[in-house]
Structure 1
Amino acid sequence: MAHAARARRPLSRLAAGAATAVLLLAGCTGADPAPEGGEPAGPDASATAAPSPEGPVLEETGTSAAMGLDTDPAADPAYAEYFGQEIDWGACDGVEGEELECGTVTVPLVWNDPAAGDIEIAVGRLPAAGERIGSLVTNPGGPGGSGVNFLESAPFMISADVRAAYDVVGFDPRGVNRSAGIECLSDEETDEYLAATAEPGSAEAAQLSEEWGARIAEACEAHAGEVLPYLDTYSAARDMDVLRAALGSEQLDYLGYSYGTYLGASYAELYPDRVGRFVLDGAMDPSLSMNEIAAGQAEGFEHAIEAFLADCLERDAACPFTGTEAEAKQQLTAFFSSLDESPLDTGDPERPLTGAMARSAVITLLYEDGLWQFGREALTDALQGDGAQLLNIADLSSEREPDGTYRTNAMFAITAVNCLDHPGVADDAWVQKEAERLAEEFPTFGAMLGGGGCTHWPVPPLREPAPISAEGAGPIVVIGTTGDPATPYAWAENLSAQLDEAVLLTFEGNGHTAYGRSGGCIEEPVDAYLLEGTVPEDGLTC
């Protein structure tokens, strides 16, 4: 079944604390004396796959209600009530952290027609622990990631020095979770969707993709049709300017991960004179089509699984696979295929582990090489007949709670935003051929990452792929990781080249994004930039 292209941060940033990861994923385990991760995936992993051949796109591309305004909303009396707000901070509901505070800001649903109604944007902050210099707005990625929930991870991911100087602020973008979050499938239907399985690239998988794509689109339109046309990234970027004003900041200081880099670049395009200290980590390339994004991720995850298996095989008995790297990959894909035919026992008779669930779990672990140990252990259990660990990982990725509810609506918000931001393919036959092509070139995950999630979407896309220069903004810090499977390194190179004034920092490692997980080599120059305004050296590599 094809999945919409994504660049999200599973588990609300998988690297958010090794202790938490150990407790959630593996219980009590002994420390692994050997370093995790092995060698970075290498130069080949930094190159985006050849663009997928262009297929037919949706019939027309509309225009975002947030674009083409003939006024600056911040200076227009028609928007004065939005830009004159103060946030009433109070206790947070459903977020862990005694120091966290939450509130809301009101924004127009339709930016070019403020009389059409309002929506509330949920905001949270971790107050500065020391002498405050301002607010640092963050976005964890997605699209669809909850920035309020991300604040639970901020103490693990953002340095103590930065947290001492800034109020770290997160928000749920429009359509996400607490901010007019769209509702599509019930929890039971979502379980059914995530478990649906067939051999990727097969005719059966194409039929499943078609059926679920239509079903989800219909459900989202039925439950949230009035807001679906206004969930694009440019509208969210306009909302960020309201947040900037409500925080009392003349300029926006920002740390965006993954999709958050695209959101940040979009803000810089709209408001270059209001760009403060901007850090974009795990960069998206706004000039790519959905097809090119899918192809780049298919290649990225193929390199990532090869790096994981190479590292695994070096550990001898601790690795459930044998032989060469190619043979190990064949063993893994054969295991996935076996689950498409016969799901694995997990201890829960209602939820056996299907091939789709297992693939999702393994993809999730590839976002963070520090969790490869747990991947080895979970796969060892599964190959011995126990799928419980892989099911737990898949549930963490989808934010499924033990009681069967889902903490956020991220898996549907990602489709709602992506389908507006990127033209999608409308030809099911083309989608099937593309899945076959990606399956052949990138056999582990290629077919399941093929684009097609927008075929039935009820709202046309609102933006053609195009570079973003943000002329007049900067300097903006762009960070790329050479072995990043979700946002290939080439995308960081491309974005930094497109921006009018940017510097590129390179982390030579595996996993998604760098700040907060590079061991200091990226954190030190980024912190100096955020705290003192010292622009890092362009081309810094570590």
Structure 2
Amino acid sequence: MLQMVPVRHVGVAIALTLAVSGPSACGEGDSAHAPVGMVSGPPPGSPSLTPATYPPLPTSITGQRPSWGPCTALPTNPPVTTGQNGVPQCAKIKAPLDYARPGGRTVDLALLRFPATDPAHRIGSLLFNFGGPGAAGTTTLAQTAGQFQGLAKRYDLVGFDPRGVGQSTAVNCLDDRALDGYLALDGSPDDPAEEKALSQADAAFARACADHSGGILPYVGTVSAARDMDVIRTVLGDARLHYFGLSYGTQLGANNAHQFPGQVGRVVLDGAVDTKIKSTDLALQQAAAFQRALGRFAAYCAGLGPTLCPMGRNRDAVLTWIRTFVDGLDGRPLPGGPQGRRLTQSLGELGVAAALYDQVSWKILVRALADAAKGDGSLLLALADSQTGRDENGHYSNFLAAETAIGCADTTERPTPADVRRELPRFRNASAVFGPSLAWSLLSCDGWSYRGSDAGREVSAPSAAPILVVGNEGDPATPYAWAPALTREIGGKAVLLSLKGQGHTSYLSGDRCVVDAVNRYLLDGVVPKNGKRCP
């Protein structure tokens, strides 16, 4: 699964543990090129532009019908789902680059669907977003559709790559070799020289994004992507939008409900994001949640005994070993595999974090740390690669570029190095392992070439149909407190379903109570009682 990366290289974003990113045909559409720099007129997502005041969409947009055909650009590792869902179909449609000027340039949106297997009882399309921001919904749904088998009879399962992502009109920044160097760089500087290197690397990343994708950067935020979802609903022929959003996808779905409350169908938001807290507090809460997950892993590891877990005989000993090991990589990176790659401090931290998204991955992390204790960092490096979209051939998806671009489009906040230094003690207190890098991740948008907008944080939808928000008490990437917060922020008929479990999001844990409650809502329209808890 695609994960949120809790280091500064991809900022403070929230993604999901679904399928690892694979290679994709990421090409920026010719229609989206424009001079680099600030855009004229109201910024994309300006609060002054609402669905009621947007210019009407031309029939060239609303009258589209997808031309479904074979999916030729999907990765083969992991393989595409077939079996009961059949072979997926793919298509591309157009959406306005700038909804304030809907008759102007357009962007491509890539779609993938598994048609309902019981068309006589079909409800409609169920649109998915798997998080990030930056997750390619076409790839992820193709590889995970089997986990939604209970919904596949009565829904067309539809994944899409949001604008800026994957096979849609995509943001591109650094090439593969440059990304290797960027991700290996120390993301938690200890002295002025390392701070300078970090600042220069971030500036180079921002310049590369502007050079390669400047024409679309200001238009990839949540408000425009949520507006695209309504275009997708229209061209698919659905009267209402049925939607399953995970992780960052909860913010995207909630913003769509805010913009189009009358078109809300059956909507599930799993792994909720609290859209109303500042980026500093979001990162701080996430650091604490990852630290709690690391503590649970450490207790599990110690319980395996010293043969399998030589890192320590109790929870605290394992935690101390991990902190000391990760810190030690700062000056002494380990051999990490082919092409002379090394396991640096940032990549080691990222590898540890990758395995905390899903309790099933804890066994892999035990082995990776035991190998690292013997001087072999290859498995830990492979875990880090699963987070960043790097495949076995050294090719990256555009996940990192898209995540940063969307995150910077979605906020007016631009913290400074002085702000980070002031907050560092709080972050270290929240997590000795993850806190410093998450603090420095606040600088991801420093020097970005356009102003952002906070309009993507608006999620109130009191007049919408019931929306089901799901939270996992052991979630490291989207802390549980964000689920009741998002439920309150949506307001109206929104209801909360909670899981006392471990890992990021709830439905994909396979917990029977959660799966049954969500399926009953999506298939039969039966809304769980607000506050229901599982198991």
TM-score range, shorter chain: 0.7 to 0.9
Deviation at 1:334, TM superposition (A): 1.0
- CA deviation after TM superposition for structure 1 residue 342, in Å: 1.2
Secondary structure, aligned partner of 1:217 = helix
Matching residue of 1:303: 292
Q: Which residue of 2 aligns with 1:5?
A: 12
Aligned pair in 2 of structure 1 residues 155, 97: CA closer, same or farther (>3 Å)?
A: closer
For 2:211 and 2:380, the matched residues in 1 are separated by 33
Percent identity at matched positions? Answer: 36
Give 1:280 shift: 0.1
Find the aligned partners of 1:332 and 1:449 in 2 and give their Cα distance: 17
SS in 2 for 1:305: helix
State the distance in 2 between where 1:470 and 1:455 align.
Answer: 32
1:452 aligns with 2:443: yes
In structure 1, the residue matched to 2:95 is: 107
1:488 aligns with 2:514: no
List alignment gaps of at least 5 residues for structure 2.
1-6, 22-40, 75-79
> Is 2:171–2:398's contact at 8 Å kept on the other side of the alignment?
yes
Matched, 1:179 2:186: no
Counterpart in the other structure of 2:262: 273
AA paired with 1:345?
P
Counterpart Cα distance in 2 of 1:197 and 1:391: 15
Question: Larger deviation: 259-268 or 123-132?
Answer: 123-132
Q: CA deviation at 1:108?
A: 0.4
CA contact 1:255–1:278 (8 Å) conserved in 2? yes
Aligned-pair CA distance for 1:347:
3.7
Q: Is the deviation greater in 267-276 or in 198-207?
A: 198-207
The two structures, once aligned, show a CA RMSD in angstroms of 2.1
Q: Which residue is 1:27 aligned to? A: none
- Is residue 505 of structure 1 aligned with residue 505 of structure 2? no
**Partner of 2:66 in structure 1?**
87
Residues 374-385 of structure 1: pairs in structure 2 closer than 5 A: 374-385=364-375
After TM superposition, give the deviation of residue 124 of structure 1 in Å: 0.6
Partner-residue secondary structure (3-state), 1:457: coil
Q: Which of the numbers 375, 396, 421 marks the counterpart of 1:432?
A: 421
Corresponding residue for residue 530 of structure 2: 538
Cα shift at 1:365: 0.7
CA distance in 1, matches of 2:335, 2:209: 32
Per the alignment, residue 337 of structure 1 pairs with: 327
**Which one of the candidate residues 398, 404, 417 is aligned to 1:409?**
398
Provide, for residues 400-421 of structure 1, a one-character-per-residue CA deviation record: whole Å limited to 9, x for no partner.
1222111x21111111111121
> Is the 2:326–2:433 Cα contact (8 Å) retained in structure 1?
no
Ranked by relative contact order (alpha carbons within 8 Å, sequence separation 6 or more), the top structure is 1
Amino acid at match of 1:141: G
Cα contact 1:2–1:435 (8 A) shared by 2 = no
Inter-CA distance 347–486: structure 2 relative to 1 (3 Å threshold) = closer
Query: Aligned AA for 2:117?
Result: A
Cα distance in 2 for residues equivalent to 1:327 and 1:149: 40
Give the alignment's TM-score, normalised by structure 1: 0.87
Inter-partner Cα distance in structure 1 for 2:362 and 2:207: 38
Could you report, residue by residue, the CA deviation over 1:322-369 in whole angstroms, capped at 9, with x for unpaired residues?
Answer: 144223212111111221111112342510211111111111111111
Check 1:258–1:198 CA distance in 2 against 1; reply closer, same or farther (3 A cut). Answer: closer
Q: Secondary structure at the match of 1:341?
A: coil
C-alpha distance in 1 between matches for 2:320 and 2:53: 56
SS at match of 1:6: coil
- Residue pair 1:481, 1:513 contacting (<8 A) in 2 also: yes
Quick one: distance in 2 between partners of 1:537 and 1:10? 27
Q: How many residues align?
A: 493
Determine if the alignment matches structure 1 residue 522 to structure 2 residue 529. no
Q: Does 1:463 align with 2:454?
A: yes
Residue type of the alignment partner of 2:515: E
Q: 1:254 aligns with which of 221, 243, 253?
A: 243
Structure 2: how far apart are the matches of 1:307 and 1:83? 50
2:357 is paired with a residue whose SS is coil
In the other structure, the counterpart of 1:22 is none
Unaligned runs of 5+ in 1: 15-60
- Cα distance, 1:346–1:78 mapped onto 2, change above 3 Å: closer
Contact kept in structure 2, 1:62 and 1:460, CA below 8 Å: no
Contact 1:415 1:453 (C-alpha < 8 Å) held by counterparts: yes
2: distance between equivalents of 1:331 and 1:519? 32
**TM-fit CA distance, 1:437:** 3.2
Counterpart of 1:346, as a letter, is G
Q: 1:178-217 maps to which residues of 2 (within 5 A)?
A: 178-197=167-186, 202-217=191-206
- Residue 396 of structure 1: aligned partner: 386
d(CA) in 1 for partners of 2:88 and 2:184? 35
SS at match of 2:244: strand
Matches of 1:111 and 1:78 in 2, distance apart? 8
Alignment of 1:149-188 (within 5 A): 149-158=139-148, 160-188=149-177
